[in-house]
Amino acid sequence: MRLILLCLLFFTLPVLAQDSIVFGVHSNTAPLEWRNNGVDQGFNVELMNRIGQLTSTRIIVRRKSFQQLLNDVHNPNSDIDVIAVVSPVNMDRQLAQSDPIYATHAKAYTLQGKALINNWADLVGKRVAIKNGAFVDVYLSDKLQKFDRVDVDLYETGFQLLIKNQVDVVIAESFVARRLLPMYPSVRSSSDALIYGAFNFVANSSKSEQMYQINEALRQLKLSGEYDQLVNKWFGTGREKVDLTSSERRIFALAIIVAIISGAGLIYTGFISASLRRKTHTLDAELIQRKRIEVEISELSQQFQSVLDGIPNGVTIVNQDLQHLWSNDNNIYLLDSDAFYYIDNDVFVLKTAVLNVLLSQKSLIADMRYQQQFWQLQIHPIAQDQVVILLEESTEQHRLRQANEEASRLASLGELSAGIAHEINNPTGLIVHAVSLFSAAMKDLSPAATYYQKQNPFWLIAGLQPDIAIKELQHSCGSIEDGAKRISRIVNDLKRYAMPHIADGYTQVCLNDVVQVALRLTANQTKFNQVITQLTEQQPCIYGDAQQLQQVLINLIQNACNACAEQQGIIEIETSIDGATAILSITDNGCGMNSATLKRITEPFFTTRRHEGGSGLGLSVCSKIIKEHQGEMQMLSSVGKGTRIRLTFALAKE
């Protein structure tokens, strides 16, 4: 309903340190400004965006109530820089304003069958609806009013009062009235233009430099013809249609004059009659055209309503008493559900939220939860006692955000692990070196301990018999050495996981050779299982690092051995070539994995063998090495049926 106003939002820096213009918008109806699927459109919005391009300035649209915009444009500290308003012709504003953007006018509207309004004198003694703050209100502010003025917040409110016979006349701006007339068929245009006005961009006096730039860009658009193209795009011909009632009155007056003059002679009468027939024909054609346009506008309004109804997100307009003034009925049940609450588990009460928004006249945007879904709730004030409520499901965005945060944590963990590995490596080396010395010393001291025990039968070492104590010490040295080597392996895995990709030293590597070496190095683990190898006679050569690829296969073989029961495990290793792809696969008939484990199997530090000493880094390192070799790893597994892992690489070109 608010066609008088349009707003310009935000002149902040585009690339370096440029200003931005905040363009304040109030109306929501075409063609001056409106919103389609959440995108601000219209003549003023597109014109202002084009001005922003010419001045290298970012334009941001911000919507507020009509009275808020009027207050903000007079406040140098407000977040609104520029608005678009109608000013009466020949009446200057104290604020900085642009050249005229588009001409308009206001006229009188009455119920069908009421007397026509020829001039201001015909309004004497009548109840006349005037919109507060509109250019009609500005025009009348310093003029004597001999009619009973009724202030309204919207032109539509004036039309509603007119239908209820609470006012006699509504003086409305033409663009708004055109849109309202199809919705109020009992109302008609009853006068010629009473006030002429023009749309202007208006800014606070502190923004005079910005207004100068806007004027320069506006003049450039007019000279280049782009302005005319915008006018034709949004307004058609850019001219208001003929007022048929006024034309009929003028023609009727002309007919009376013709009838009087016709008495002077039949020839002159015939000439005037022919002229009158031509004008009547034109008038009929214009009447048909007007009816056709009214039908098109009505269809467009219905289409627009259908679009709003078809939006999957919930859109509802309510007042402060929570009465639903309009809704597309999508997901609106959430607002009254006890399971709909803020994401931080605070209780959501619709009435409290609406009253807070109306009281502060500031929008509320909050993330909400409903059962297993996530939603974004927006409540925006659109009048002193009305708000629009928007509901949009954001479950997928929430999950993506959580996945991104988890990936960031894993990346940070990798960097931290690399640092820890470096710090642990040195003391681990000292432990291994010292244990080796202790083991060698124990072998040399064993004969001396035996000899000394013969000399002193009651001699004890740590409360144990010397031969038993020597065995315990040797066993402890072995345990310490095994533990230190395990620490060293974990450290090396951590360093490998955090190591950057280095592909400069890659050479041709045959996957058959990788299999043979890996089987030799894991012979001790595979001796309890049946290993079947099927190596292709062709040479499946790829570019890579032989030691890294051996490390991958050794890890996969060890995992297969751990998954198979002793004496019953069958492990199959196969190489093949498919087109330009080399394939290495390893299959076991072990315990297999469920889908939850399969999804996390390559995550760092995830393991199902924690109690058996697994570090959870083996497959993470393997996955990283395979990616560095531009390869892919596919895993198929079923609980109780075993696992098949398939590695694919690009063949090396000869």
Domain residue spans of the chain: 6-100+200-235, 105-196, 244-309, 314-393, 398-498, 507-650
The CATH classification number of 507-650 equals 3.30.565.10
Q: Are 627 and 500 in contact (CB under 8 A)?
A: no
Report phi then psi at 207, rounded to 5: -105, 25
Superfamily (CATH) of domain 105-196: Periplasmic binding protein-like II (3.40.190.10)
DSSP letters spanning 370-431: ETTEEEEEEEEE-SSSEEEEEEEE-HHHHHHHHHHHHHHHHHHHHHHHHHHHHHHHHHHHHH
Report phi then psi at 373, rounded to 5: -110, 155
Query: Where does residue 330 fall: left (phi above 0), alpha (psi -120 to 50 degrees), or beta otherwise?
Result: beta
CATH classification (class only), 6-100+200-235: alpha beta
Tokens of 500: 């950057």
**Successive 10-residue mean pLDDT values, the chain, 654 residues:** 34 44 79 80 89 90 84 85 83 77 91 91 92 85 88 91 94 86 92 89 83 90 91 66 45 79 78 85 88 85 69 83 81 84 85 90 89 87 88 81 62 62 72 76 76 76 77 79 72 57 72 87 80 88 88 86 76 91 91 79 68 63 86 87 91 81
- Cα 492 from Cα 80, distance rounded (Å): 60
- Cα 374 from Cα 398, distance rounded (Å): 7
Bridge partners of 87, per DSSP, are 198
Helix (H) / strand (E) containing 318: strand 314-319
Of the candidates 632, 609, 631, 605, the residue with the CA atom closest to the CA atom of residue 619: 605
Angle formed at CA 369 by CA 368 and CA 372, multiple of 5 degrees: 155
- For residue 272, count CB atoms less than 10 angstroms from its CB and return exposed for 0-12, middle for 13-18, buried for 19 or more: middle
Contacts of residue 108, Cβ cutoff 8 Å, sequence gap at least 6: 117, 123, 169, 170, 171, 189, 190, 191, 194
Amino acid at 350: L
Helix (H) / strand (E) containing 175: helix 174-180
**The model scores a pTM over 0.75:** no
Predicted pLDDT at 638: 85
Report the 10 Å Cβ neighbour count for 219. Answer: 13
Predicted pLDDT at 499: 54
Cα torsion 465, 470, 474, 479: sign: positive
Tokens of 502: 């280095």
Predicted pLDDT at 584: 93
Q: Are 180 and 155 in contact (CB under 8 A)?
A: yes
3-state class (DSSP) for residue 506: coil
- Cα 617 from Cα 599, distance rounded (Å): 15
How far, rounded to the nearest angstrom, does the alpha carbon of residue 4 sit from its chain's CA centroid? 31
- Cα 32 from Cα 397, distance rounded (Å): 34
- Cα 388 from Cα 397, distance rounded (Å): 23
The CATH classification number of 314-393 equals 3.30.450.20
- Cα 407 from Cα 403, distance rounded (Å): 6
Of the candidates 91, 180, 185, the residue with the CA atom closest to the CA atom of residue 141: 91
Bridge partners of 62, per DSSP, are 24
Q: Are 50 and 226 in contact (CB under 8 A)?
A: yes
Predicted pLDDT at 286: 87
Contacts of residue 8, Cβ cutoff 8 Å, sequence gap at least 6: 21, 22, 23, 24, 25, 48, 59, 61, 81, 82, 83, 84, 201
Tokens of 140: 């009348």
Q: Are 585 and 645 in contact (CB under 8 A)?
A: yes
Contacts of residue 270, Cβ cutoff 8 Å, sequence gap at least 6: none
Rounded to whole angstroms, what are the CA distances from 238 to 104, 172, 181, 421?
A: 10, 19, 19, 75
Of the candidates 80, 110, 87, the residue with the CA atom closest to the CA atom of residue 206: 80
How far, rounded to the nearest angstrom, does the alpha carbon of residue 233 sit from its chain's CA centroid? 29
Q: Are 81 and 210 in contact (CB under 8 A)?
A: yes
Contacts of residue 424, Cβ cutoff 8 Å, sequence gap at least 6: 487, 491
Domains 105-196 and 314-393 share a fold: no
Report phi then psi at 534, rounded to 5: -130, 95
